[in-house]
């Protein structure tokens, strides 16, 4: 059984939390019993919401005081980059076919 105890000061998608995400993802893939608390529980919820996809990079990380619409003119460098609306928790994914940002899911 794997126990993960962490504080909830880290955002689930932050780079500093990537090892926790990988450990949780690996435990689920091999059906290893897992007990998580606080920040690790948020990471588990995040993985469930993203359907255990690979890690994403939030383009406007650390710039949450700015209006989220100011970032809709930015084109991502990769498909793993998303924009977070800090008021609603919505994450937006770039749609290259329509050349615009579309809501992908809500992170809570």
Residues 44 and 62 occupy one common structural domain: no
Residues 61 and 35 occupy one common structural domain: no
Q: pLDDT (tens digit, 9 = 90+) per residue, 55-66?
A: 778 888 777 777
Q: pLDDT (tens digit, 9 = 90+) per residue, 36-46?
A: 998 899 888 88
Domain boundaries, position 44: 2-49
CA trace torsion 8, 12, 16, 18 (10° rounding): 130
Q: What are phi and psi of 23, to 5 degrees?
A: -65, -45
Q: Model confidence at 54, in pLDDT bands (50, 70, 90)? A: low
Match 């498909």 to its residue by tokens. Answer: 79
Residues 37 and 78 occupy one common structural domain: no
Residues 39 and 73 occupy one common structural domain: no
Give how many domains the chain has, as a whole number.
2
Residues 64 and 95 occupy one common structural domain: yes
Residues 6 and 31 occupy one common structural domain: yes
Residues 64 and 88 occupy one common structural domain: yes
């Amino acid at each position: 059984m794997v126990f993960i105890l962490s504080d909830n000061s880290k955002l689930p998608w932050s780079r500093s939390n990537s090892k926790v995400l990988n450990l949780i993802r690996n435990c689920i893939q091999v059906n290893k019993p897992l007990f998580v608390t606080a920040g690790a529980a948020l990471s588990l919820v995040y993985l469930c919401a993203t359907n255990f996809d690979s890690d994403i990079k939030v383009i406007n990380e650390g710039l949450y005081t700015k209006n989220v619409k100011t970032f809709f003119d930015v084109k991502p460098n990769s498909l793993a980059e998303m924009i977070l609306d800090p008021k609603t928790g919505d994450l937006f994914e770039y749609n290259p076919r329509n050349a615009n940002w579309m809501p992908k899911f809500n992170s809570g």
